[in-house]
Amino acid sequence: MVSKEQIDAARGLVPCDVNFVNCSVADLFRGEVRPGLTVSVHKGYVVGVGDGLAARTEVDLDGRVLVPGLVDAHVHIESSLLSPSEYARLVVPRGTTAVVADPHEIANVLGYDGMTYMLRASEGLPLDVYLMAPSCVPATDFDSSGAALFASDMYPFLREPRVLGLGEVMNFPGVLAKDPQLLDKIALFWDSGKAVDGHAPELRGRDLSAYAAAGIRSDHECVTAEEALEKISKGMYVMIREGSATRDLARLVPAVTPRTAPRFLLCSDDRHPTDLAEEGHIDRSIRLLVDAGVDPLDAIAMSSLNAARYFGLRNSGAIAPGYKADFVAASDLRAFEAEVVIKSGQIVAEGGRLVRAVENRPAVLRDSVNIKWLTEEDFRIPAEGRRIRVIEARPRTLITGEIQTEPPVREGLCVSDVSRDLLKIFVIERHKGSGNIGKGFITGLGLKRGAIGSTISHDSHNMILVGADDASIFKAARHLNKIGGGMVVTDGDRIVLDLPLPIAGLMSDRDAMWVVERLRAFDELFRAEGLTNESPLMAISFMALPVIPKLKITDRGLVDVERFAPVPLFVD
């Protein structure tokens, strides 16, 4: 609520804290850029726009256009591999002043403690970090997570002002089957008037109607303009995702018109820090939209006001009295660059750099990598049939294919064949030491030797390994256990490169640029090795996600997502 002092400041009875002068304002309510205005701010909120108010200080914006701070409507901060404070260090200079984060990655590892860590670690930043309570912990019954959150566990989060609703409901078959535990979670937040996010790739027709009727009002998984328009017509908001592994904007932009634009939001979902540092964040999506012919003001609204309306942030998303003084100053809306970033009326970034110190709070969390003692023999796959199912990894999409082929067999064991780009893939349960190991084959990565491994495998984040030989795979598993989680490349008994991620096996405790440089080293290595997949570690991190078609693998084995059922490795 606006204070009495802010009312007095708006009337000119007391001086404002600061006037931003010599600027134009992107007025998203009138749909125009209004030149030659002064924006007056008091106690972190706008109290006047062009109202001739006096202020204690002035900031000259040199004729730039002032737009609302940018909002990422759906992101998993953990997927940046950075702690919340280091994540802010990368995105705030790009103009992002708020994100709506679904911490289901860390919640699937640490449960309630993971959610609490994200709340506390994101306090006091020059970035508003709002959270959605994870709906899918565990994500499905096909894999083993480190925790479970039921509706009763989520009730305390309703009292957290930064928790805006229920995170993406990925288990859409569970909604359609009227799973009572899932419907209880939806009802808890729906009845409290909070948002319920969706996740329903390629869901159409009657099933989509049933999904929306359950109270789910958004989706970020559309891959065609037609799918986006159908979801909008059924009352949903569509979040246009431009992440690292999945970039949907070019396919969805034909659906964006002046009439439909208010139903679109922008999000990154999963975006690596190298892409954040080199390409940008939501600012990049704005540039892509404008280049594709979308009106700049519609693009700005999709990155700010629309998200505020959907999530019920009544004082955010616009430049008007009573709204938070979160702005971005840019010289040109058609070639959008965040030149000055203002948070709560104070400049926090300028020229692409933070000008305000960010406190990095140390994480106090339990060890999250607990695997059963392994031997090299655990990675053998006995030949039990003539044909196998193979996961087909595809570039720039989370959707995989299924190939059925004859495996190479040596001494009664199925082995990798790099000449056919046929590699062994394993998922090891890493939370409770159960000893579960899912075994399979994958194509589409182009790995010629050694192995790659990670403790990032959505959404349960068990240990995932792909390799050309068992010795390299075994070494990768042992090293990931040793460093408390992370990423690794091995060749035989040699560690080629690693990136420790000691915060839940998902995030680094180092600074953002150190992580960026280490990831660049991975990229250079993969290019030198001639891998066909441009981001193999990110690609394999989604191979254990049994909610996106077609064939995936968990610690319990292969899953046919279209049938939503486990399937054996051997076809016959």
Q: Which one, of 34, 99, 19, lies nearest residue 67 by Cα? A: 34
What confidence tens digit (pLDDT) does each residue in 334-392 have? Answer: 999 999 999 999 999 999 999 988 877 777 788 889 898 889 999 999 999 999 999 99
The mean pLDDT of 474-501, rounded to a whole number, is 97
Whether pLDDT at 171 is above 70:
yes
Of 297, 320, 348, which one is at a domain's C-terminal end? 297
- HSE on the CB side for 347, CA within 13 Å? 19
Convert the pLDDT of each residue in 274-324 to its tens digit.
Answer: 999 999 999 999 999 999 999 999 999 999 999 999 999 999 999 999 999
How would DSSP label each residue in 196-251?
EEE--TT--HHHHHHHHHTT--EES---SHHHHHHHHHTT-EEEEEB-SS-B-HHH
How many folded domains does the chain comprise? 2
In this structure, are residues 296 and 25 in contact, taking their beta carbons and an 8 Å threshold?
Answer: no
| Average pLDDT of the segment spanning 121-138 | 93
Out of 273, 297, 321, a domain closes at 297
The answer to whether the CB of 492 falls within 8 A of the CB of 475 is: yes
Please report the sign of the dihedral spanned by the C-alpha atoms of residue 86, residue 91, residue 92, residue 94.
positive
Mean pLDDT of 113-124: 93
Residue 499 in domain:
yes
> Do 259 and 402 belong together in one domain?
no
Residue 291 and residue 410 in one domain: no
Domain membership of residue 13 (yes or no) is no
Q: In whole angstroms, give the CA distance from residue 123 to residue 451.
A: 39
Q: Evaluate whether residue 434 is within a structural domain.
A: yes
Note whether 46 and 320 are within 8 A (CB). yes
Per the CB < 8 A criterion, the answer to whether 281 and 87 are in contact is no
Same domain, residue pair 114 and 243: yes
- Domain membership of residue 442 (yes or no) is yes
Same domain, yes or no: 289 and 424: no
113, two tokens: 């403690």
Task: Considering only CA atoms, give the Rg of the chain.
Answer: 24
Q: Where does the pLDDT of residue 244 fall: very low under 50, low under 70, confident under 90, or very high at 90 and above? A: confident
Instruction: Give the span between the Cα atoms of 139 and 559, in whole angstroms.
Output: 13
Which ranges constitute the DSSP H helices of 234-383?
249-252, 273-278, 282-291, 296-302, 305-311
Measured CA to CA, the distance from residue 438 to residue 466 in angstroms comes to 12
pTM of the model: 0.92
* Residue 378 to residue 374: CA distance in whole angstroms: 6
Cross-strand partners of 443: 392
Looking up tokens 């989520």, which residue turns up? 154
Q: What are phi and psi of 38, to 5 degrees?
A: -120, 130
Predicted confidence (pLDDT) per residue in 14-23, tens digit: 999 999 999 9
Mean pLDDT, residues 59-78 taken together: 97
76 half-sphere exposure, CB direction, 13 A CA radius: 25
What percentage of the chain has pLDDT greater than the value 90? 85
244 versus 402: the higher-pLDDT residue is 402
Instruction: State whether residue 322 is helix, strand or coil.
Output: coil
- pLDDT higher than 80, residue 397: no
Say if residue 260 is in the same domain as residue 406.
Answer: no
Residues 409 and 265 in one domain: no
What whole-number distance in Å separates Cα of residue 274 and Cα of residue 558? 31
In a domain, 214, yes or no: yes
Res 512: pLDDT: 95
Question: Are 416 and 381 within 8 A, CB to CB?
Answer: no
Asked whether residue 293 falls in the same domain as residue 388, the answer is no
The CATH code of the domain that includes 169 is 3.20.20.140
The residue among 266, 297, 328 that closes a domain is 297
- Chain-centre distance of CA 544, in angstroms? 16
Query: Do 431 and 544 belong to one domain?
Result: yes
Q: Quick one: pLDDT at residue 1? A: 67
pLDDT band at 497 (very low <50, low <70, confident <90, very high): very high
Q: Please, which residues have CB within 8 angstroms of residue 204's CB and are 6 or more apart in sequence?
A: 227, 230
Q: Does residue 446 have a pLDDT over 90?
A: yes
Q: Examine residue 62 and state whether it is found in any structural domain, yes or no.
A: no
Domain range for 525: 376-567
Q: Read off the pLDDT of residues 73-102 as tens digits, 9 standing for 90 and up.
A: 999 999 999 999 999 999 999 999 999 999
Q: Is residue 476 part of a domain?
A: yes
Strands 195-198 and 163-169: parallel
Contact 196/215 with Cβ under 8 angstroms?
yes
Do 380 and 292 lie in one domain? The reply is no
Contact 441, 424 (CB under 8 A): yes
* Three-state SS at 420: helix
Residue 400, helix vs strand vs coil: coil
User: Distance (Å, rounded) from C-alpha 459 to C-alpha 121?
Assistant: 21
Q: What is the band of 137 on the pLDDT scale with cuts at 50, 70, 90?
A: confident
Residue type at 318 in one-letter notation? A
- Nearest-angstrom CA–CA distance, 50 and 37: 5
For residue 174, what are its two tokens? 């569970």
The answer to whether 168 and 547 have CB atoms below 8 angstroms apart is: no
The answer to whether position 365 is within a domain reads no
Identify whether residues 477 and 385 lie together within a single domain: yes
| Positive or negative: CA dihedral 121, 127, 131, 137 | negative
